[in-house]
Amino acid sequence: MTEAIVLQSTNVRKVYGTRQNMQEVLKGIDLKVREGEFVGIMGPSGAGKTTLLNVLATIDRASEGSIRIAGTEIATMRDRELSTFRREQLGFIFQDYNLLDTLTAKENILLPISLSKVSKQEAESRFKNIADILGITDLANQYPHQLSGGQKQRTAAARALINNPSMIFADEPTGALDSKSASSLLETLERVNRENEVTIMMVTHDPLASSYCSRVVFLRDGQIYSELYRGEETRQQFFQEILKVQAMLGGETVDSI
């Protein structure tokens, strides 16, 4: 039985500026993401990676086209409906963590469900489960300024997962991390994706990061250039395949995994 389609975009376009000075950043993106996929979005600077993520993640609105997430058309939603949908159905991990300095790690993690009807007992159960998975149980009462970059990003990842979202969007989640912290986070995301079938879309410029994905979509000039599926390949093999496409696109290369 084929997996359900969690996200489907059809002819998604994004234009900035006025008629006299228009810049078309996305030029008709057709994309499907199935339940349980870990999809990487790559491409040269200016290819439209972050714009695509922002439009699909409801942070920005498409100029044209259809976007369906978990069977719901979001492109035509009103702002209030969109805010509720975002809170209940989506999780976000950003490069700069976006943690609130005045809240503890636990309070930051529980924030997405603080406005919902989840009971205190259920919230505690979810927190314990996610904190255990991400290895941050002992950080619960610490504030962001007391955490390392890697610990902050794990806290952000836990916050993204707390609401059992249909999909998680990650924008350069390892961009501010050292290599050890980055590898640890990516291994955790890969495990959560595999064991809990969490659907993830991640924008990254780093072929090492994208080698953890099950599929990588390459953009060029606002359009899909090509796609790679990992299949049964090892991460090293997939990494080499990613490097080949990146070289054709003129991106930066990395010598080894």
Q: What is the average pLDDT across 144-166?
A: 94
Mean pLDDT over each residue of the chain, to the nearest integer: 92
Q: Looking at the domain assignment, is residue 23 inside a domain? A: yes
Q: Looking at the domain assignment, is residue 105 inside a domain? A: yes
> How many domains is the chain partitioned into structurally?
1
pLDDT digits (tens, 9 = 90+) for 35-72: 999 999 999 988 999 999 999 999 999 999 999 999 99
pTM, full prediction: 0.91
The Cα 30–Cα 13 span in angstroms is 10
pLDDT of residue 252 exceeding 70, the answer is no
Token pair for 208: 């090492």
CATH number, domain at 219? 3.40.50.300
CB 108 within 8 A of CB 145: no
Confidence of residue 1 (pLDDT cuts 50, 70, 90): very low
Token pair 């939603």 is found at: 77
Q: Looking at the domain assignment, is residue 255 inside a domain? A: no
Q: What is the pLDDT of residue 148?
A: 94
Q: Which domain holds residue 52?
A: 5-249
CB 216 within 8 A of CB 184: no
C-alpha dihedral, 124 to 125 to 131 to 134, nearest 10°? -150
User: How many CA atoms within 13 Å lie on the side-chain side of 232?
Assistant: 0
Q: Looking at the domain assignment, is residue 256 inside a domain? A: no
Q: Looking at the domain assignment, is residue 142 inside a domain? A: yes
